[in-house]
């Protein structure tokens, strides 16, 4: 195994540093990819894993103005290394979050709901009654897309892989506000026409899989619609029929939350606007944490194994 649980000295608190006691941190697929060395950011080793989580401020250096002991913080970017009980971080690497939102919501906020929000707002101007289609709909991003779209009045068509407990999954996604949940196989069935009797064809498709799934999803996109790729779980390229480009002029785009944060580092308004919207949705009960399994840090091996299993419907959250 690439992992060890180690006791380390907490670094000395510098003038612009913040001493944080971590509360909870999820294990995301991208965290695993980073460790396997198949991701675009790689930390120099030895490194602490984890890109997401929430902590409580214990102490701040005397130049720190925006944070005080007792505040809750989440990472401002990727690569923080959240799988630890305590850490000392420069102030600019942290983002204050309200402590009146549930701890699991805060712990899972900085990657998936932000990704979902940006993809729903940055590529197509969606109005209430419009629809989006997405694959891997039971992923962390997928669950956030369903809930945020619902709050915006946008309909969702959600594609999942067929599995033994499919009815249970369908029920869970419908309870989150999904309008339709279908399997990959159904994408190429004539019954798809029935869905489009009640809702318009999607202007936006969100792709986290690649391969056949993407090509099938693209068929249902409106002319001049956009497909945004933000993951490639099938490890296969995105294949697009020439006719989709020529006769329907579809657009293919990519999205990576880490890049968005870099591009908007000077644009505090965009970030604050997004975060405020997400806090409001959480407070109104319109955006919940994904289905979670809480695991004490010492059981991290079991949590990592569970994350790698196929058809995981629950996110492993390390309790620190």
3-class DSSP assignment, residue 276: helix
* H or E, element range at 73: strand 72-75
- Give the bridge partners for 253, in sequence order: 228
Catalytic residues: 39
User: Hey, where are the domains in the chain?
Assistant: 17-109+290-319, 111-257
Question: Pairing mode, if any, of strands 315-319 and 17-26?
Answer: antiparallel
Q: Nearest 5°: CA angle at 63, between 57 and 66?
A: 50
Task: Give pLDDT, residue 1.
Answer: 58
User: What's the rounded Cα separation, in Å, for the pair 238 and 222?
Assistant: 18
In Å, what is the CA distance from 58 to each residue of 13, 18, 19, 116, 249? 11, 8, 6, 31, 54
User: What's the rounded Cα separation, in Å, for the pair 266 and 256?
Assistant: 18
| Cα R_g (the chain), whole angstroms | 20
- Per-residue tokens: 292: 């979670």
* Cβ atoms of 159 and 213 closer than 8 Å: yes
User: What's the rounded Cα separation, in Å, for the pair 275 and 98?
Assistant: 10
pLDDT category at 34 given cuts 50, 70, 90 is confident
What class, spelled out in words, does domain 17-109+290-319 have in CATH? alpha beta
CATH code at 111-257: 3.40.50.720
Assess whether the previous peptide bond of 238 is cis (omega < 30° from 0).
Answer: no
pLDDT in tens, 160-219: 999 988 999 999 999 999 999 999 999 999 989 999 999 999 999 999 999 998 999 999
pLDDT in tens, 3-31: 788 888 888 999 999 999 999 999 988 88
Say if 17-109+290-319 and 111-257 have the same CATH topology.
no
User: What's the rounded Cα separation, in Å, for the pair 162 and 183?
Assistant: 6
Least confident range from 15-24, 56-65, 198-207, 291-300: namely: 291-300
In terms of average pLDDT, the best of 260-264, 298-302, 308-312 is 260-264
């Amino acid at each position: 195994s690439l992992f060890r649980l180690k006791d380390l000295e907490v670094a000395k608190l510098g003038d612009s540093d913040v001493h944080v006691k971590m509360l909870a941190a999820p294990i995301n697929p991208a965290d695993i990819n980073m460790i396997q060395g198949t991701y675009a950011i790689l930390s120099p080793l030895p490194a602490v894993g984890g890109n997401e989580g929430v902590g409580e401020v214990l102490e701040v250096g005397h130049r720190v103005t925006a944070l005080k002991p007792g505040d809750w913080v989440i990472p401002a970017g990727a690569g923080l290394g959240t799988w630890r009980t305590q850490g000392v971080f420069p102030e600019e690497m942290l983002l204050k979050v309200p402590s009146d939102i549930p701890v699991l919501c805060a712990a899972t906020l900085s990657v998936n709901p932000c990704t979902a929000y940006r993809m729903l707002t940055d590529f197509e101007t969606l109005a209430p009654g419009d629809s989006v289609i997405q694959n891997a709909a039971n992923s962390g991003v997928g669950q956030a897309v369903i809930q945020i779209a619902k709050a915006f009045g946008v309909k969702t068509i959600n594609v999942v892989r067929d599995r033994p407990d499919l009815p249970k999954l369908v029920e869970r996604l419908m309870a989150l506000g999904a309008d339709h949940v279908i399997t990959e196989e159904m994408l190429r069935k004539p019954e798809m026409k029935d869905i489009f009797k009640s809702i318009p064809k999607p202007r936006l498709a969100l792709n986290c899989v690649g391969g056949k799934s993407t090509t099938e999803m693209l068929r249902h996109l409106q002319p001049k619609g956009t497909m945004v790729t933000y993951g490639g779980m099938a490890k296969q390229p995105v294949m697009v029929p020439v006719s989709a480009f020529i006769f329907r002029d579809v657009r293919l785009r990519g999205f990576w939350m880490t890049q968005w944060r870099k591009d908007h580092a000077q644009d505090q308004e965009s970030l604050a606007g997004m975060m405020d919207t997400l806090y409001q949705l959480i407070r109104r009960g319109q955006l919940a944490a994904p289905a979670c399994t809480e695991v004490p840090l010492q059981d991290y091996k079991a949590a990592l194994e569970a994350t790698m299993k196929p058809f995981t419907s629950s996110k492993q959250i390390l309790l620190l």
